[in-house]
Each structure stands twice: as structure tokens, then as C-alpha cells.
Amino acid sequence: MQPITVGVRDAKINLSKLLKMVQQGSEIILTDRGRPVGKIVPIKTESLPLLVRIKHLEDQGVIEPPSGKGQKKIPPPIPLLKSMAQRFLQEDREDAER
């Protein structure tokens, strides 16, 4: 996609419109008196928080939001003493090597 060049004054006036274009994947190059001074680019989805990425997938229709019906609650994790989990993991790895 070809970047769009916009002057600072026009960017101030049309910021909402430009941001919608960026959300759709466009890049905007900002100019001041014809000289490029900055760029507005979409954020990579992997750098967004998990809840924002999930919401984005729901909005795209890739996944469905939870309905609340028939959902199973995940039990809380079993508490372990310090380093016990590491010890279990090491023992498991040693058993797998044998």
C-alpha cells in the first residue's frame, strides 16, 4: 500500500479520518511546508495487549465472544512451594532422557 502524504494543517483538520485509514493499514507521512517530518503507521498486533487483540479478532468475526452459557470455570492453579515446580520439571526431563 502506497503511503499517503498529508500536510500538518490538513492532518489537524482530518485527524479522525486519517486514524481510520491507519487502522485499515494505511501509512500517513506528515509534512511541514512540503518537508516530511513524521509518519503515522499501524501498530503491529503482536505488540497490543491480549484483550485488545481478542477484541480485534471478535470485530473481524474470526472468533466469537463468549456467550456465558455452558462455560466451564478453570480451577485455580495448585500452589507449590518455591522451586518445587522447577524440580518437578527437571525430574520429568531426566525421566524422558532415560
pLDDT of the residue at 47: 77
Q: Which residue has the cell 485455580?
A: 76
Structural domain includes residue 15: yes
pLDDT of the residue at 31: 97
Residue 44 phi, psi dihedral angles, 5° rounding: -65, 135
Give the C-alpha separation, 77 to 98, whole Å.
29
pLDDT of the residue at 57: 87
Structural domain includes residue 49: yes
Structural domain includes residue 34: yes
Structural domain includes residue 19: yes
pLDDT of the residue at 89: 87
pLDDT of the residue at 54: 87
Residues whose CB is less than 8 angstroms from the CB of residue 9 and which lie 6 or more positions away in sequence, other chains included: none
pLDDT tens-digit profile, the chain (98 residues): 689 999 999 999 999 999 999 988 899 999 999 999 999 999 887 777 888 888 888 888 899 887 777 667 788 888 877 788 888 888 999 988 87
pLDDT of the residue at 46: 73
Look up the domain containing 36 and give its range.
Answer: 4-60
Structural domain includes residue 42: yes
For 11, other C-beta atoms within 10 Å of its C-beta total 16
Q: What is the dihedral of CA 60, 64, 66, 71, to 10 degrees?
A: -150
Give the C-alpha separation, 74 to 67, whole Å.
16
Residue 60 phi, psi dihedral angles, 5° rounding: -80, -10
| CATH number, domain containing residue 14 | 3.40.1620.10
Structural domain includes residue 93: no
Structural domain includes residue 45: yes
The count of structural domains within the chain is: 1
Structural domain includes residue 22: yes
